[in-house]
Structure 1
Amino acid sequence: MMNHIRNFSIIAHIDHGKSTLADRMIQLCDLVTAREFKDQLLDTMDIERERGITIKSQTICLPYTARDGNTYALNLVDTPGHVDFSYEVSRALASCEGALLLVDAAQGVEAQTLANLYLAMENDLVVIPVINKIDLPSAEPERVTFQIEEDLGLEADLIQMCSAKNGTGVAEILEAIVTHLPPPKGSIDAPLQARIFDATYDSYRGTVISCRIINGSVKQGDQIVLMSTGASHRVEEVGLFRLRKEPCKQLSAGEVGYILAGIKSVGDAKPGDTITLRDRPCAVPLAGFREVLPVVFSSLYPIAADDYEDLVAALEKLQLNDAALSFQKDSSAALGFGFRCGFLGLLHLEVVQERLEREFDISLILTVPSVRYRFTLTDQTEIMVDNPAHFPDPSKIARTEEPYIKASILIPERYMGAVMNLCMERRGENTNYHYPTPGRIEFTCELPLGEVIYDFYDRLKSITQGYGSFDYELLDYRSSDLVKLDILVNGEVVDALSQLVHRSNARERGLSACEQLKEEIPRQMFKIAIQAAIGTTIIARTNVSALRKDVTAKCYGGDITRKRKLLEKQKAGKKRMKTVGNVEIPQSAFLSVLKRDAD
């Protein structure tokens, strides 16, 4: 039985055609009729379809009759392509024996192609390279074949050519999976060991655990234990993933499927955790379990204060489906009550914001995204701060540190100067580069994460005209000169606009925020000062001019003192008005500051 199972993933850089290839495979295995078929079959969210990206990994079991006459169960564990979701990719790969490494025939090997290949190698997977989009006018399969041999060190004999869009070569890929990928190992008689690689939430049945059975078997009625928490649950149903969930009698060693056990939230079934039986437990959990840690933090506030209770319910429901989302209560003098949320990256933040606004119909304001900084105080205690509101007293800070990443950037040679300037602007260090193939440069650079989370990826795409690709991994914390930048409107600190920034960037960031606020805040009857400050030191300022009534319009001729008297009276009134005037900051002003000026 195990000889007729193949577990594999499709890994690639974003937009190299993973979902399209999966669609063709599903059609070839007759799992979907022509009438029911739609593009991106495995992508279930509207956002995934609109953006053309995979956010949640999906799984499907394909029954394939090979040319040798045998029917094989091909378990495809689909993976996201974006760097923010690389944790999901690593968990999915740990559940497979092989991987299809997809490379675009026009774009060639890119940053995340390399990163995903390294992940596959770490898991000792057999890798079959596939060159996709060979039907494009700009396709250069010979050049890409050379890149795969030289850059990736993979054998040219294994390379499969295909066009997932029109189905050319997909049957040959299925044959290559059966021929070149090894069957799973494991013993059906050993105690149950199953690795969780994903979990989703069903409103009627609770958490649906996606798992790979390494050893043993599990069936309805078994008492299972999640080894990281020790929680015990009774199995209600097990089954295989087709286009819909298909119940079966039991899941055995080597198979990929789902388990329903009445688990109340996705957070209880953590990816990488090991499932075993309560009555006959395995000796040790499978290697590879670790907590997924957020790296980007932002506060969410409802635009209408009445929506707060709806936001509470929406975040709790969303966390059931997205275990990587973390949140805690927060409040702001300017924006009222909200939540401080942790995300895996900026794309994760955008996806969560969009899902909250679409699925739950809540309009939101986000504060400036920040990362988690480490402060050592004069009494040698260490604290982690991700919210400017919790910035410690500067007189008590002995040392400040910020997280660094190692960025890998693959670009055509002609953009080298512009990309190097961008990295230098963002305080890059230890830069080096090499030429993997003629005309292409792999550029590595160590950058502060706080400088990357704003618009680094957008700027990179702009200056390389879309040809640059970017991947990163977290390194460590390094000493840095951090300050808290406050924005004052009419002398009052607007806490929602406070930021933690490096001292060298403080004036530029403060001036940009002041200028954007000036454009958005409507003029009043008195002059409004918009200032950026570090502590009590003002480092940038701009003014919103007052609306003025022409009080001298009624003066025809006569002595100048009459006009002066009227102007002085108006000036005194404006001064008095400024001391008691309250400036209402429109919601658009907060949003404009969050969108950092790209110039």
Structure 2
Amino acid sequence: MKHIRNFCIIAHIDHGKSTLADRLLEHTKTIGERDMMNQVLDDMDLEREKGITIKSHAIQINYPYKGEEYTLNLIDTPGHVDFSYEVSRALAACEGALLLVDASQGIQAQTISNLYLALDNDLEIIPVINKIDMDGAMIPEVTDQIIDLIGCKQEDILLASGKSGIGIEAILAAIVERIPAPKGDENGQLQALIFDSVFNSFRGIIIYYRILNGSIKKGDKIQFASTGQEYFADEIGVLKLTMTPKPEVKCGDVGYLITGIKVAKEVKVGDTITLANNPAPMIKGFEEVKPMVFAGIFPVNTDDFAELRDCMEKLQLNDASLTFELETSQALGFGFRCGFLGLLHMEIIQERLEREFNQTVITTVPNVSFIAYTSKGDKIIVNNPAEMPDPTKLDRIEEPFIKAQIITLPDYIGNIMTLCLGKRGILINQSYLTTTRVELTFEMPLTEIVFDFYDKLKSQTRGYASFDYSPIGYREADIIKMDILLNGDKVDALSALIHRSRAQDFGRKLCEKLKELVPRQQFQIVIQAAIGAKILARENISAMRKDVTAKCYGGDISRKRKLLEKQKEGKKRMRQIGNVEVPQEAFLAVLKLD
């Protein structure tokens, strides 16, 4: 065990985690030159296209150091705030972390929050300044920032460049020397923490785990601590670029396990694997994920519902932060109410459903969960507008608040203030980290962030602001349910829970947008936004009509009038039985309202 090192790489978005991982693999010849490419660990097309890491990836490196052979298990983690659950799981399987900071950008919000995650897990931190060969590298300033943040010595900070391979040898040496070897009892009861799993259509579910105590051999009868289910270990091994089978995986190592499980529900991330004949207690300290944003996902054809359910379960295996439950809607039929960690997460899930499982889906307006208290004192959790109790029986509603940390340049303070105060934010603190970096702390309702806050923040600050948030509980608010009516019928998929001060403005914009998107019919369509019985906004889509008076020329006006009245009656009858088709774009348009 003293030759094993488990570590991960943590950083803000775009600070060069995946590139550094590429260099480490290349330097230790873990990957042959033929297999080498950029972002070699990111195996999804989506990750390559967007240039972001979505999943954590584990790989084993063999590294000779001072005449001894060391085994390094590297886990590359995502940097975006929406995937912080992936990061927390990777950290649970490690003893140390490389904290990467971009030399040209300095410390950003996600750097700090990932650092705190690592410190909570008692990891050894190795600070690395990356991209030192760039023109805009500010090495002395960034060094000072890191020393202020971590309180380390200047000689502890490593300088490197993932692109050109500077300093890679020093990083590998530091990993071996500074990161502690795994602790654990090699001869004790088997305890292995599951930190990820993937679905393979031929082999069933492949489980990735880190052994804390004991060891696992091929053919062992194993048991899952939370479900009590027992299986045989058909194949075990370690993760190189491909999976490499081994007869035994020992204490302290990271490996994979194939048992031929086909049912997604039986494998839970954070569960403990033990031996069936000598079970050990479950490993503590793995937290459940808290979704921040909720949205409905529905199949375009109602017949595809069962297939969509299978796809969602397989996707949940690979992305444990996705939560979903059944939901029905009058307009869209059967579907799922899904919980996401943020809007990017929601977008990625939708893309993955389309790419990996060929599912075309309709997504409803995202919202957050509120807590409603009735006048009898009952507490109801409201995840979507349909669950909102009748206003006459309602005592009060509480909405979730978050603490937002924004790190930016002093030039953009005004823009950020305007944006956050406009979103009902409260400024709590403003502090200068250095002369050119300022940290603003706001308390804001989560509802206001769900839509387009992040995009607006980036455009107001020309991309120079970094944003991170954490929930701080619920507070009372004046939240109401706004319905959209088409010819007097409610479209439940377009209903929204919104703050009263926003309702009129939002309703008017939504009606105008729908007027552009809903196709014209043979009869007039009235689009209305309403709170209860009070109409806030209205737009009309006029009917397509034939010129029935064309055949009349001359003669008495009553002949024309007779034809027009006859047409009017027909339109009226049509309107009573005709239904309005709402196109898919209309549901998406709600997300893109300014």
Counterpart check, 1:387 vs 2:384 = yes
State the Cα distance separating 1:357 from its structure 2 match.
1.2
Count residues in correspondence: 594
| Letter of the structure 1 residue corresponding to residue 422 of structure 2 | E
Residue 326 to residue 90, structure 1, CA distance change in 2 (3 Å): closer
1:123-154 CA-partner distances (Å, limit 9, x unpaired): 11111111112222222222211221223433
AA matched with 2:219: G
Q: Which residue of 2 aligns with 1:186?
A: 184
C-alpha deviation, 1:251, in angstroms: 2.0
Distance 1:34 1:588, change over 3 A: same
Counterpart in the other structure of 1:597: 593
Greater mean alpha carbon deviation, residues 383-392 or residues 454-463: 383-392
Secondary structure of 1:522's match?
coil
- Distance in 2, matches of 1:250 and 1:530, equals 66
What residue in structure 2 maps to residue 285 of structure 1? 282
Asked whether the 8 Å contact 2:264–2:313 carries over to 1, the reply is no
- Which residue of 2 is the match for residue 114 of structure 1? 112
> What residue number does 2:370 align with?
373
CA distance in 1, matches of 2:390, 2:306: 34
1:210-251 deviation per Cα after TM superposition (whole angstroms, max 9, x unaligned): 222222222123233322233333222221111111122222
Residues 388-411 of structure 1 deviation map (CA, whole Å, 9 limit, x = unaligned): 122211122222112222111111
Match for 2:193 among 195, 203, 219? 195
AA matched with 1:270: K
The 1:267/1:145 distance shift into structure 2, 3 A limit, reads farther
Equivalent pair of 1:371/1:449 in contact (CA under 8 Å): yes
Cα distance in 2, alignment partners of residues 265 and 83 from structure 1:
30
Deviations 1:441-495 (A, max 9, x none): 1111122222211111111111111111111112212222221110011211111
Distance 2:368 2:319 in 1: 20
Please give the alpha-carbon distance, in whole angstroms, between the structure 1 residues aligned to 2:398 and 2:150: 36
Q: Check the 8 A contact 1:375/1:383 in 2, yes or no.
A: yes
CA distance 1:123–1:328, change in 2 (3 Å): closer
| Shift of residue 546, structure 1, vs aligned partner | 3.5
Q: After the TM superposition, which residues 234-313 of structure 1 pair with which residues of structure 2 at under 5 Å, given as runs? A: 234-282=232-280, 284-313=281-310
Q: Partner of 1:588: helix, strand, or coil?
A: helix
The answer to whether residue 26 in structure 2 is matched with residue 27 in structure 1 is yes
* d(CA) in 2 for partners of 1:12, 1:267: 32
Task: Check conservation: 1:528, 1:545, Cα contact below 8 A.
Answer: yes
Give the superposition deviation at 1:535. Answer: 0.9
Q: Give the Cα–Cα distance (whole angstroms) in 2 for the partners of residues 402 and 210 of structure 1.
A: 37
Amino acid at match of 1:465: R
Deviates further, 461-470 or 338-347 = 338-347
1:58 and 2:54 aligned? no
CA distance in 2, matches of 1:317, 1:197: 16
Q: 1:123 aligns with which of 121, 124, 135?
A: 121
The equivalent of 2:439 in structure 1 is 442
Retained in 2: the 8 A contact 1:238–1:250?
yes
CA distance in 2, matches of 1:202, 1:582: 44
Distance 1:57 1:224 in 2: 25
Q: CA deviation at 1:549?
A: 5.1
Q: Which runs of 5+ in 2 are unaligned?
A: none
What is the alpha-carbon distance in structure 2 between the residues aligned to residue 287 and residue 311 of structure 1?
Answer: 33
**2:45 match:** 46
- Work out the CA distance in 2 between the residues paired with 1:263 and 1:525: 55
Give me the whole-angstrom Cα distance separating, in 1, the residues matched to 2:306 and 2:92.
Answer: 40
Alignment of 1:436-515 (within 5 A): 436-515=433-512
Deviation of 1:576 after TM superposition, in Å, equals 5.1
Stretches of structure 1 lacking an aligned partner (at least 5 in a row): none
Residue aligning to 1:105? 103
Task: Give, in whole Å, the separation in 1 of the partners of 2:487 and 2:160.
Answer: 63
Distance 1:428 1:575 in 2: 48
More divergent stretch after superposition (300-309 vs 209-218): 300-309
Letter in 1 for 2:479: L
User: In the alignment, which residue of structure 2 is the partner of 1:404?
Assistant: 401
2:426 corresponds to which of 419, 425, 429: 429
Cα distance in 1, alignment partners of residues 577 and 86 from structure 2: 54
Give secondary structure in 2 for the equivalent of 1:40: coil
One-letter code of the match for 1:287?
K
Alpha-carbon distance in 2 for matches of 1:584, 1:258: 49
- Aligned match of 1:337: 334
Q: 1:264 to 1:396 in 2, by over 3 A?
A: same
| Structure 2 Cα separation of the partners of residues 563 and 262 of structure 1 | 78
TM-score using structure 1 length = 0.93
Aligned to 2:208: 210
Q: Is the 8 A contact 2:372 2:397 kept in 1?
A: yes
Q: Aligned partners of 1:6 and 1:326: how far apart in 2?
A: 33
Partner SS for 1:405: strand
* SS of the residue 2:2 aligns to: helix
**Bigger shift: residues 304-313 or 383-392:** 304-313
Structure 1 segment 167-186 matched on structure 2, within 5 A = 167-186=165-184
Per the alignment, in what secondary structure is the counterpart of residue 145 of structure 1?
helix
**What is the aligned-residue RMSD (CA, Å)?**
2.3
- Look up the SS of the partner of 1:35 in the other structure: helix
Q: 2:102 is aligned with what amino acid?
A: D
Q: How does 1:535-574 map to 2 (within 5 A)?
A: 535-547=532-544, 574=571
Conserved 8 A contact 1:266-1:321: no
Amino acid at match of 2:54: I
Asked if 1 retains the 8 angstrom alpha-carbon contact of 2:294 and 2:340, the reply is yes
CA distance in 2, matches of 1:302, 1:281: 43
Q: 1:60–1:242: 8 Å Cα contact kept in structure 2? A: yes
Determine the C-alpha separation between the residues in 2 that align with 1:376 and 1:305.
34
CA distance in 2, matches of 1:378, 1:272: 40
Contact 1:201 1:265 in 2 (8 A): no
Deviates more, 1:496-505 or 1:287-296: 287-296
The question of whether the paired residues in 2 share the 8 Å contact of 1:62 and 1:242 is answered with: yes
Distance of 1:323 and 1:439 partners within structure 2: 38
Structure 2 match to 1:75 = 73
Worse-superposed segment, 498-507 or 205-214: 205-214
The answer to whether the 8 A contact 2:365-2:588 is kept is: no
CA distance in 1, matches of 2:275, 2:360: 45
Amino acid at match of 1:24: R
Distance 1:6 1:236 in 2: 27
Give, in angstroms, the shift of residue 373 of structure 1: 1.5
Q: CA deviation at 1:75?
A: 0.8
Report what 2:217 is aligned to. 219
Corresponding letter in the other structure for 1:80: P
Residue-by-residue CA offset, 1:60-84 (whole Å, 9 max, x unaligned) = 1100112x12221111022121222
The one-letter code of the counterpart of 1:455 is D
Tell me, in whole angstroms, the C-alpha distance in 2 between the residues paired with 1:306 and 1:259.
35
User: Which of 521, 526, 539 matches 1:524?
Assistant: 521
Asked if structure 2 preserves the Cα contact closer than 8 Å seen for 1:374 and 1:382, the reply is yes
In percent, how many aligned pairs have the same letter? 56
Counterpart of 2:84 in structure 1 is: 86
Distance 1:305 1:269 in 2: 28
CA contact (8 A) 1:95 1:195 kept: yes
Asked if the contact 1:151/1:436 (under 8 Å) is kept, the reply is no
1:296 and 1:265 mapped to 2: Cα distance? 27
Report the 3-state secondary structure (helix = DSSP H, G, I; strand = E; otherwise coil) of the residue aligned with 2:177. Answer: helix
Deviations along 1:161-210, whole A, 9 cap, x unmatched? 12211212212211121122222222212222222222222223332222
**8 Å CA contact 1:151, 1:437 repeated in 2:** no
CA distance in 2, matches of 1:162, 1:331: 53
Q: For residues 430 and 275 of structure 1, do their structure 2 counterparts lie closer, same or farther at Cα, with a shift above 3 Å needed?
A: farther
